[in-house]
């Protein structure tokens, strides 16, 4: 009797576990054992063509996971321009990120047709670009399936805005089961990449009636930014988020915040708000603490809203649904 009860309980746990979308590190060990090396090769090849591969792929993963979960819904191209990627908040996603996933998927399909989801390929590629930029390596949990919904109308209100304060940041991350510590660690991805002038020009020219320049902005840095982003500048001009080591994944982003050199309001507030300041100081002084927190946060991010088991599908082409 005890044995049967044990088996019934075990089956019940397996069913429950599947329901909450359990990911595992060796998901493709029999169906596509070389998937990670295939993706890494494709990412490295793409990186040899353009550095933008790195920040673009990392940002793509984040934007995917925060809308409908990590399900490659961001990858869908719609003839009517009404897919997730067409939403205003996603128009600044660089094409090189999409291309990285598409190239990696094509390489994986040649080796293991119909086995590996675009969602998992994006998750692997996001880890690979961190490593290629000098950041920490970590195992990626796998087993996601590709989503069946991609709508521009579902994006608004689900991504953090550059003007957010600490409360607003914490609220939007908490919706995705991510803590303040996770949010601060994931913001460290701004050690790479760019932002368009329009996302922060209010800090230079129209901060308040008494002070056009945001007083939390380092004055030398403010002058440098005014040079790079004069008023009425070409909207395509972009500025590096980390002015010191823009092509290296490191903890200099946090050192910049301590020095008043956070580019976006949502960057600098992490240091000016006394609730989050101790974490910024810790990460600025201890790269190991930052790397550990970043790995933990990336794992948690990768579990957001995942489809597993019989949910979703394994897309053949990342940019279109199978049916």
Q: How far is CA 212 from CA 1, 113, 207, in A?
A: 76, 57, 5
DSSP H stretches of helix in 2-52: 2-19, 35-49
Catalytic hit among 46, 59, 63, 145: 63
User: Looking at the DSSP assignment, which residues form a beta bridge with residue 195?
Assistant: 239
Contacts 24+ apart (CB under 8 A), 274-279: 275/166, 275/180, 276/166, 276/180, 276/184, 279/180, 279/181, 279/184
Residue 118 and residue 114: Cα distance in Å, rounded?
10
From the DSSP assignment, how many helices (H) and strands (E) are in the chain? 13, 2
- Residue tagged 């946090």 (tokens): 254
Would you say 65 and 308 are in contact if contact means Cβ atoms under 8 Å apart?
A: no
Q: Give phi and psi for 66, each to the nearest 5.
A: -80, -10
63 is known as an active-site residue = yes
Residue numbers belonging to the annotated binding site? 64, 67, 69, 71, 73, 84, 160, 190-191, 242, 245, 250
Residue numbers belonging to the annotated binding site for substrate? 160
Of 183, 178, 151, which Cα lies nearest the Cα of 164?
Answer: 183
User: Helix 95-111 crosses helix 35-49 at what angle (to 10 degrees)?
Assistant: 140
Of 54, 100, 51, which Cα lies nearest the Cα of 74?
Answer: 100
Q: Where are the beta strands (DSSP E) in the chain?
A: 194-196, 238-240
Q: How far is CA 282 from CA 247, 259, 294, in A?
A: 22, 14, 13
Query: Catalytic residue positions?
Result: 63
């Amino acid at each position: 009797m005890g044995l049967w009860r044990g088996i019934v309980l075990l089956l019940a746990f397996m069913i429950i576990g599947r329901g909450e979308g359990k990911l595992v590190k060796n998901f493709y060990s029999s169906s596509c054992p070389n998937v990670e090396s295939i993706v890494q090769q494709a990412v490295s090849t793409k990186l040899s063509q353009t550095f933008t591969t790195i920040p673009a792929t990392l940002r793509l993963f984040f934007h995917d996971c925060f809308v409908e979960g990590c399900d490659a819904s961001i990858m869908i191209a719609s003839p009517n321009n009404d897919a997730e990627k067409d939403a205003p908040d996603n128009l600044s996603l660089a094409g090189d990120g999409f291309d990285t996933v598409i190239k990696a998927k094509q390489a994986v399909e040649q080796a293991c047709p119909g086995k590996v989801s675009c969602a998992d390929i994006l998750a692997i590629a996001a880890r690979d670009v961190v490593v290629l930029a000098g950041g920490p390596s970590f195992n990626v949990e796998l087993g996601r399936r590709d989503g069946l919904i991609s709508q521009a109308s579902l994006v608004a209100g689900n991504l953090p805005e550059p003007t957010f304060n600490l409360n607003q940041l914490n609220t939007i991350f908490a919706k995705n089961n991510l803590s303040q510590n996770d949010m601060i660690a994931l913001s460290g991805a701004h050690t790479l990449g760019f932002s368009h002038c329009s996302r922060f020009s209010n800090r230079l020219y129209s901060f308040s009636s008494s002070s056009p320049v945001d007083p939390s902005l380092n004055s030398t840095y403010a002058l440098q930014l005014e040079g790079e982003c004069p008023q009425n500048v070409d909207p395509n001009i972009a500025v590096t988020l980390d002015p010191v080591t823009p092509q290296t994944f490191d903890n200099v982003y946090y050192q910049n915040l301590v020095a008043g050199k956070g580019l976006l309001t949502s960057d600098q507030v992490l240091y000016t708000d006394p609730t989050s300041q101790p974490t910024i100081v810790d990460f600025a002084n201890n790269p190991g603490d930052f790397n550990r927190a970043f790995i933990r946060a990336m794992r948690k991010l990768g579990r957001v809203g995942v489809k597993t088991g019989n949910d979703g599908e394994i897309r053949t082409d990342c940019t279109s649904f199978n049916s």
